[in-house]
A and B are shown apart, each in its own frame.
Chain A
Amino acid sequence: MGTYVPNSVVEQKEMLEALGLQAMEDLFDVIPDEVRVKGELRIPSGKSELEVRRQMEEMAERNTVFRTVFRGAGAYRHYIPALVKAVASKETFVTAYTPYQPEISQGVLQSIFEYQTMICELTGMDASNASVYDGAVACAEAVAMCIDKKRETVYLSAAVHPDYLDVVKTYCYAANRELVIVPEKDGRTDVDFLRSHLNSQSACFLLQQPNFFGLLEDTDELSNAVKAAGAKFILCVNPVYAAIGKTPRECGADIAVGEGQPLGLNLGFGGPYLGFMASIQEMARKLPGRIVGQTLDADGNRCFVLTLQAREQHIRREKASSSICSNQALCAMTAASYMSTMGPSGFQEVAKQCLSKAHYAAKQITSVPGFSLRFSGEFFHEFVTACPSSAETILKKLEEKGILGGYLLDGKYKGCILWCCTELNTKSEIDLLTALLKGEA
């Protein structure tokens, strides 16, 4: 068996003696015999480090790591600078807990304050929290911020990521809250539907930009419709897009949320990722979860603390707006170090390359007979094509060449493929992809 217990048998015996006990079992004499584990758990015997390492490696090797990836759909492969990985593995950051004790936690607190600042800069908003579990949960928590006794109906675009849609549904069902899905028309949210359905009981409308199909929505028209009804506008935005695209603030959003995974986090088969949340000043006190604020210490020096704790579950208990207590501190630190390493021009360059490469790829792919853009209009780094023959066969063929092709859509757009390009996709990869689609390579 492997163990991380430092006490030797001799020390254990000394400690038991100090307690007036004979054996370890005596420590559990308060637990009724009838419910105790009889014998051993039915799990394998403990192993050495090398054995465990081998077992885990064997499992990892049964997965395919694609050299070339043209798939996004909510998880994006970007370049992660070496420094970001070094920061994320610093032992003290990894093994600390929530910075309850500010005097010895300034490093963690300041890193979150810096993260909050960068999220505000990115989204154009006034206040950010210390992060939540992921983009989907950020959407659900943002919705909860908008509910009051008079306004309880939630509107959600059908063109948001299907997982986000499902999570918001779950949270609404839990809270007995009415949810209206605003349909999409030709890949974009139906603004007429929204306009005609919003009323004085409407709490909020949640939109994704770019939307699940990679398309850019007309935020002005949608925002105006929401404002006219007196509801709140929540914009879920891809952080890389926000580097060059109109910010949530400029789009008239009250709350900006999103998935922070593109900011230096591994694909990691879906997690852990990072949900960011930021709001206009008027809603700052409604933000859920941890928030770091600046203050002064007893000597008058600048320092940082967890603040607005009176909103939170450990004080408010059943009256708290959310039960969330942890944030994704290490992921937030990773994202902040990513944004710092990239710098403003480097980060905007990432966005520009994503945009340019996706447009080049769209042009190349649609030059192949049978492939055409399914939707018209502006897009960022993802686009949907109709395909000539079975899309599954096409993707299988790419897979054999070590390429993870686009994501095969289901439902209304079954048989279409959602492609994605990032700065990691080179021209030669895109050209090879095109040649393979043509059947030339």
Chain B
Amino acid sequence: MKLVFERSIQGTGSTLLPPNDVEAYDLQEPYQRKLALHFPELTEGELSRHYSELESNAFGVNRGFYPLGSCTMKYSPKLNEECAALPGFADIHPLQPAHTVQGCMEAMALAEKLLCEITGMDNLTFQPAAGAHGEFTGLQLIKKYHDSRGDSKRVELIVPDTAHGTNPASASMGAFKTVAIPSKADGLVDLDALKAVVGENTAGLMLTNPSTLGLFEKDIVEIAKTVHEAGGLLYYDGANLNPVMGVVRPGDTGFDIVHLNLHKTFSTPHGGGGPGAGPVGCKAYLSEFLPLPRIVEEQGSLRFCSDSENSIGRVKAFYGHFLVIIKALAYILTLGKEGIPYAAQNAVLNANYMMKSLEDLYTVAYPGRCMHEFVLSAESLKKRTGVSAMDVAKALMDHGMHPPTVYFPLNVHEALMVEPTETESKPTIDAAVKVYREIYDLAFTNPALLHEAPVKAAIRRPDEVRAARTLVLRHSFSS
């Protein structure tokens, strides 16, 4: 594919603006730009084709099965997009007077209320822009809580080895020390290991439940008790809330703080990597620490309030990814109290059904009941045939489906982490299972073919080492 710059024809373009209708003003010389500006020059038609070509070389949930583990690639309803495009939301300046944005604040207040009920929290901030940003925010609540009690020695955050990499990285951004604990043979948190590390330095525990292995931490009440008794708080990484929404609420299992990924659980799309949203909810006793401003109601009208001496401060300009919140709200209103657990049930059903259909061939890393996802290990396949998890993933592309997450979680060798989601049908899953099985068979009969895969994609396998060594991060203009 040509780069947009390579399609550029000097002197072409679109007529977008009327001529300037006031006296022209020129910047004073010392402030003027002297560098040339190489932007492409194309007519609208040429540009339209360029982006259509880029689109045809991309893969979205609209194109096919996308069981990327821990990413919850469910269908994103069109209604949500339409709602977010309403001029009454899309064209509102963030600094308009409060009485002209009552609808925006009402939408945020309603979304906060619904998400609090779903998670079992009391208050929630929409400022965090993504899951990792939510983690950073939530951990600041923990820091501020301990600081407010003069308990400044609590600098250790306990993180299981199956956690997303963002957990320890967010901990470091907050000057916490990560204490990793190994999981047991069954993949669950090792209570004894936990008990051995909690103490007067424990700030809290970050836990993803269900975990990245797709397993529900059935000892969660005991885990919570252990951490709380040691004076720590419990942080819920909401990346995997989808299979348990409406079934069990993090707040009822002892969590004090929750972040949600609205782009995962609540269907706002992933947008090729963002924008998502990572709101953070907390129990009432932590609400004073939430970022400002907060929406408050006064004599029947809503306004932003910035009075709280104990707030951790701001984590983002304005109020968060407002238009993403609108999409999530439309989704929750559509599903309602019946549809939310129904979606969870079907997510779990699809995952277990697909796991069951593959377990006689691939090694299921942790057999038993899974929740939203399951993890296969291609370790034994690799030993016997030389075909790796990566080879399997690349081969799947030739069958019109997106590969699962590979090489994560780190404690499973040659991991393939599969999350079908509830918006896939049985025929789609059956067809995918057939392909997974064919690839498995092919590993024994013609492994060379799999090492070469994909053959039908836009490119062959790229040289990633070269990319990192000889950094080319931008197009160069020869002139």
Query: Per-residue 0/1 for A356-393: is the Cβ within 8 Å of any B Cβ (1 yes, 0 no)?
Result: 11011000000000000000001000000000000000
A348→B37 contact, CB < 8 A: yes
| Chain B contacts for A114, CB-based, 8 A | 3-5, 475
Q: Knowing A164-B317, A296-B463, A329-B274, say if A271 contacts B323 (CB, 8 Å).
A: yes
User: B107 near A: Cβ within 8 Å?
Assistant: yes
- Among B73, B143, B220, B339, which residue has its beta carbon within 8 angstroms of that of A46? B339
User: A99 near B: Cβ within 8 Å?
Assistant: yes
B54→A107 contact, CB < 8 A: yes
Smallest CB-CB A-B distances: 7 pairs: A60-B88, A270-B318, A46-B336, A62-B103, A270-B94, A330-B271, A107-B58
A-B contact pairs, 20 of them (CB 8 A): A19-B353, A31-B244, A43-B114, A59-B107, A60-B83, A64-B100, A65-B92, A89-B81, A92-B60, A110-B57, A113-B475, A116-B474, A220-B30, A271-B319, A290-B273, A323-B172, A341-B47, A346-B14, A353-B17, A355-B25
In the bound complex, CA of A133 to CA of B90 (Å)? 18
B136→A340 contact, CB < 8 A: no
User: A196 near B: Cβ within 8 Å?
Assistant: no
User: B23 near A: Cβ within 8 Å?
Assistant: yes
In the bound complex, CA of A292 to CA of B41 (Å)? 23
Nearest-neighbour CB distance to chain A for B9, whole angstroms, equals: 11
User: B198 near A: Cβ within 8 Å?
Assistant: no
In the bound complex, CA of A136 to CA of B269 (Å)? 23
In the bound complex, CA of A130 to CA of B446 (Å)? 39
User: B213 near A: Cβ within 8 Å?
Assistant: no
Interface residues in B176-194 by Cβ distance below 8 A to A read: 178
In the bound complex, CA of A57 to CA of B276 (Å)? 22
B464→A343 contact, CB < 8 A: no
A244→B32 contact, CB < 8 A: yes
User: A266 near B: Cβ within 8 Å?
Assistant: yes
Nearest-neighbour CB distance to chain B for A263, whole angstroms, equals: 11
Interface residues in B452-479 by Cβ distance below 8 A to A read: 454, 457-464, 466-468, 471-475
In the bound complex, CA of A52 to CA of B348 (Å)? 27
User: B35 near A: Cβ within 8 Å?
Assistant: yes
- Among A28, A32, A166, A352, which residue has its beta carbon within 8 angstroms of that of B348? A28
A340→B27 contact, CB < 8 A: no
Q: Knowing A28-B247, A97-B73, say if A356 contacts B24 (CB, 8 Å).
A: yes
Query: Per-residue 0/1 for B315-336: is the Cβ within 8 Å of any A Cβ (1 yes, 0 no)?
Result: 1111111111010011011111
In the bound complex, CA of A110 to CA of B13 (Å)? 21
B93→A95 contact, CB < 8 A: no
A175→B173 contact, CB < 8 A: yes
Q: Knowing A6-B425, A35-B221, A117-B474, say if A103 contacts B27 (CB, 8 Å).
A: no
Which of A77-85, A186-194, A223-231, A432-440 interfaces with chain B? A77-85
B459→A103 contact, CB < 8 A: yes
Q: Knowing A307-B471, A343-B13, say if A30 contacts B216 (CB, 8 Å).
A: yes
A356→B23 contact, CB < 8 A: yes
B92→A63 contact, CB < 8 A: yes
B320→A81 contact, CB < 8 A: no
- Among B82, B173, B249, B336, which residue has its beta carbon within 8 angstroms of that of A323? B173
| Chain B contacts for A344, CB-based, 8 A | 37-39, 41
Which of B127-135, B381-389, B434-442 interfaces with chain A? B127-135
User: B96 near A: Cβ within 8 Å?
Assistant: yes
Interface residues in B342-370 by Cβ distance below 8 A to A read: 342-343, 345-346, 348-350, 352-353, 356-357, 368-369
User: B445 near A: Cβ within 8 Å?
Assistant: no
In the bound complex, CA of A378 to CA of B84 (Å)? 38
User: A198 near B: Cβ within 8 Å?
Assistant: no
- Among A24, A94, A124, which residue has its beta carbon within 8 angstroms of that of B271? A94
In the bound complex, CA of A317 to CA of B3 (Å)? 34
In the bound complex, CA of A284 to CA of B469 (Å)? 12
- Among B42, B253, B320, B459, which residue has its beta carbon within 8 angstroms of that of A102? B459
User: B397 near A: Cβ within 8 Å?
Assistant: yes
| Chain B contacts for A164, CB-based, 8 A | 317
A171→B269 contact, CB < 8 A: no
| Chain A contacts for B336, CB-based, 8 A | 1-2, 43-47
Query: Per-residue 0/1 for B38-55: is the Cβ within 8 Å of any A Cβ (1 yes, 0 no)?
Result: 111110100110111111
Nearest-neighbour CB distance to chain B for A3, whole angstroms, equals: 5
Q: Which residue of B lies closest to A298 (CB)?
A: B460
Q: Knowing A46-B334, A75-B94, A307-B467, say if A136 contacts B459 (CB, 8 Å).
A: no
